[in-house]
Structure 1
Amino acid sequence: MGDKQRMTGNDESGVRPLALVVDDDPSLRLYMSAALKKSGFNVLEAESGEAALGLFTTGRPDLILLDLVMPGMDGFETCRAVRRLPGGRYTQILMVTGLDDNDSIETAFDAGANDFVSKPINWTILGHKGKYLLRAGQAFKELDRNRRRLAKTQELARLGNWQIDLVSFEFSCSSKASRLLGFDGWGQISYDDFLSAIIARERDMVKEKIDQAVQSNQNIVLNYPVILPDGTQKHILNQGEILYKKNGEPELMLGVIQDVSRLKQAEEEIRLLAFYDSLTGLANRALFMDRLEQAIASAGRTRQKFALLFLDLDQFKLINDTLGHQIGDLLLKQVAARLKTNIRKSDTAAAPGMDSPDSVIARLGGDEFTVLLSNIDEPESAARVAARLIREIADTYHLEGHDVAMTTSVGISVFPADGTESSTLLKNADSAMYHAKKNGRNNYQFYMESLNRAATERFSMERDLNKALENEEFVLFYQPQVDLASRRIVGAEALIRWIHPLKGMIAPDTFIPIAEESGQIIDINRWVLQAACNQKRDWLHAGLKAIRVAVNLSGYKLSSQNIIGTIKEALGKDSADYQNLELEITENVLMQETRETLSTLKQIKALKLRIALDDFGTGYSSLSYLTSFPVDVIKIDRSFVMGCITEPKNLIIIKAIIAMGHSMDKRIVAEGIETEEQFSLMKALDCDEGQGYFFKHPVPAADFAEFLAKEKL
């Protein structure tokens, strides 16, 4: 281009635009060039279409004056070729024609011309028209740059747009929006397609809100996850605004969707840093205090109780000082994992639909942990959880070659008795924890002294239970089971008693729940089975008749007790022993872990043992249990039998149980018979067997042997 100045189309800048004159007539090229130069253009000339394409590639002119009729490549073909070249889309092309027919003009515009001028040419007008076209071309170029800039910006910002015509209610969206939602190559997608990517649990909500916004002409801001066809998940921000006509009528809802997955991820990372302990993954102090405030507000509205447990590891500082902070951190992580494992959903008793926060486990700092138990029934519930945590944390931890023994002390405060403000509840739980440390560590204490007495009693009983088996403090009492028609003894129910060396006899209702919670019940079940089977053999060896012995088994986690192995160990190889052993379980056992429990009961039946369902009628789904579980005996709960004379409803229930049980070939036993009237009524109703104080109280094995020798009661 020699010393030609580069064109920008901006006369005020002093930079001259470049024009290309294409005509096979040299004189016309000369006149056109002169007119354009006079109007401020630099000019290139070409005598043919082929030459013009070469000059366009090297010079990139802003304006082309193109003769329509030329030998070889005419003006139509040259125009089309220019439009196909890089940079040729927005170059202004002015056709020069001597033709005055409309078809030629139409063809010129179809080929891509911006305007035309007819011969003979008005040279003054030509210069002005050239400058006008140049301004138009610059506007189109700027518009194209803005469009491409907007498209790139949307791509970088992960944006797509959509709209709903508020007159026809037709939906459309951009290709970028389609791609964001995973519909690559689909072209225009429908409104249903647009919604189908939304995660199922939120799809109806999003549709409802968009529909409501369209109907009421309101703007919307929605935030929701989507699942793409390849299974990946994104988080979408969807914003929609109403556009109005000049007369104020709504015309469009124009919306923008944006992929904010990275922002969401960043927010989650910030949230984790702000509200969760980086070492253990538990809630930190800030989050715990927020949840504690929520619990106070919720419990205040619903008049519920909740408990706050404050845990501190015993002598943790010694671990840090002797083994280093790395070992201490490993210990804290393992303790946190045990806390998460051992806080169960059943530790709270929130009613369905109640707007209360869930239990929260937090690390306040150092070796201090807190547990928030929402909606407890009674303080004893918190005590059970505290005892379980103490038991689970007390252990030897193996940490990078070091064996570290660790225990914890727990303080408990209860809302509202121990405070109605978060700081007060936390302070009082902390105070109770220090009281636990002063009492020898590895125990829990309530802040309220009256509760501490009960807690201390329970803790003492749990401790003594650990020694009861070893010290042979358990005994079995036996209560006769009598055939009502003949009054002959046909069986005995074995009932455990605890003869405490200081407190005397303790009833099973008192210590069995503690044994279940502490896990000691498994060993107690094993002892009961073994002792009952041994006694049955002793009676037989003493010449007494063989009778059926019923053993009450705690059903706590029945399927995980290895009860089959325990039975085989107690009975040995004598098949007669198997036929004369009956296992009693309660209805609440059948409500737990249904599939596993059913499997365990079937294995018991495979050993030829009989299964009795105790306390029948006090559960919730008695009939379904009879049809689903392999039960041989139904024991009518004593509460029905004792009121059978005075309460007509009780009599109706008893009749129904007997009729239903007999129809299913079950043996029926009435518990709690205490009077002659009750005995006579049960016999008249065709009940098979009975037991109760009318016949005999539970007695030691030696006394029962005397009853058995008489055979009848």
Structure 2
Amino acid sequence: MTSRLPSPRSGRQSDRDDLGEIDSPEMQPGMDIAMQPVVQVRSKLVSTLAIIFVIMVAINEIIQRQIIAPEIAILAPSVGESQINQIFWNARLPYIFFSISSLLLMMLLMQRFILASFRQVAELGREIERRRLAEREMRIMAHRDALTQLPNRPYLIERLQEIIRTRKPNAVTRDAVLFLDLDNFKIINDSLGHDAGDDLLGQVAGRLQQCVRKHDTASRVCADKNESETVRLGGDEFVVLLERLMTPEDALDVANRIVRRISEPFSISGRLVTVGTSIGIAYVNKYTKDAHDALRNADTAMYRAKHAGKGQVAVFDKSMHEDVVMRMERESQLRRAIHAKDFELHYQPIVNLVTAQVQGVEVLLRWKDDSGQYVSPSEFVPMIEEIGLIGEVGEWVLEKSMTDINGVLQSVPADVANQLSVGVNMSPRQLADPFFLDQLDEIIDRTQFDRRRLSLEMNEAQDVRHGDRVRAALLKLNESGVGILIDDFGKGQSSLTSFQNYPIEGVKIDRSFTRSIANDHTHAVIAEAIVELAHHLSATIVAEGVESKDQLLALQAWGCDAAQGYLFSPPLSRDDLAGFLSDPSHSEGIKLLRESAQCDTQSVGIPVGIGLHPLDAGFLPTEI
């Protein structure tokens, strides 16, 4: 194990408190370094003074013998002994005074020099230690997440590299990387604000550390010698590094514990909010090349877990990497197609079940990859959403479909053209765009399309993150004459509230109900209830995916307004649509309607659509 990062206290607050104290323990190393040259100079000065003192004593002795002694010898015969001593000391005193004065002066100068040196050295020691502490704190900050005080990505990379480098081929223990991010974090961050998002991340970090075993640590910060790390990579992404596991199930146990704990409500800004998490697990083994490889594998497994449903755990295998490579290639092709507008629009007729006439079309987006094969919209449309280009594609669909329908209207009988409407599916991201309404007006002006023919579909199963903005946009669209429709009605979780929050004029029964109404009593009851509910709310009903006579008869019996599906017509190109509208008699579904007594032109007229303009006979969505 490598040494761990210092604790927040020792690495931050205590350093700041002790920076100004010369004699503090943490300052002592710097002081010792700075004092070394002073001690050396002081030793040299003491040696020099000793030598000077010896020299002066020697000079004094020489003066005594060479100058004073001869003079006394000359005077000795003529004076007494007491006078000789007096003369000796009188002659020697100036030399002694000079020697002592010189010695004291040198000692005073040396003392001043030493004191000044000590002051400079003390300041130098402080500066050295300040820089040392600053460098240490910078190293700590470089490896710690500022928000949660957990280790960050650089620290995790270094730790993983160390694990991979020191791992033995025949090791009996395992190391695992758990990669996770939060579900619905962006919704909370956008709705409650970034401060609430930061608070949530801090609480999540605390729960992660609680979930990991005592000898494990979460990768944002670790102040002990545990054998695992918990790291925040950034945003709402975290990694838990588990070391020396005895069995692979240990990592799964930790992952499941994290999923359960994170799913519990959090108290944010005085309210309870709920998030979830999906976790990908990658084991470090002999095939792991480096730290980035391990992280990528865990990230790949995490996305597989997300696609399997929220709150899931997935373990990486090689097939996942192949899927990622394929996805990257598919995304690259899709970006080129978006740039070149290399898409097709097909139109599926929607038939009024009372009049047996085509009352509108649903626009369907189609795309061929580089191999020339059609890719399912359920695969490439979510990808367009993820890469943030749904707005650009949506604008192209609007303008292209309006241009195509304008051309079709000129080649079909007037009675058919008068009642034909067009449904286009809108992503909540488009509706939340503050420039969307202006862009739609510009497209309508350029194409000279009658906006009363246009209906926009909002899939209720989609997550509307900017509810107020979307609601305001839908109200303005409705006021301008554009119809609003809910697609896949009954499949999501907000069907009834949608009628209250949005100006809904029509709904489409999801094909999952239509497909089973002829042989599944439960689905039949639900579908009938949807029809009745919509009629009570003055909304029209369109049934998707009608493919058999039994389904059609059931829908007619319940009073469903319109239907679409292969029983009437598959999606058609623009030219084929013009031919179909001119002569729909070959349609099996229309034949059945015309043969039905309910379609007799002498019978009672259309029972729904009260209060709607003529073009509102069909509110048709566009499935992109």
Pick the structure with more helix per residue.
2
Give TM-score scaled by structure 2 length.
Answer: 0.48
Structure with larger RCO (C-alpha < 8 A, sep 6+): 2
Pick the structure with more strand per residue.
1
Give TM-score scaled by structure 1 length.
Answer: 0.43
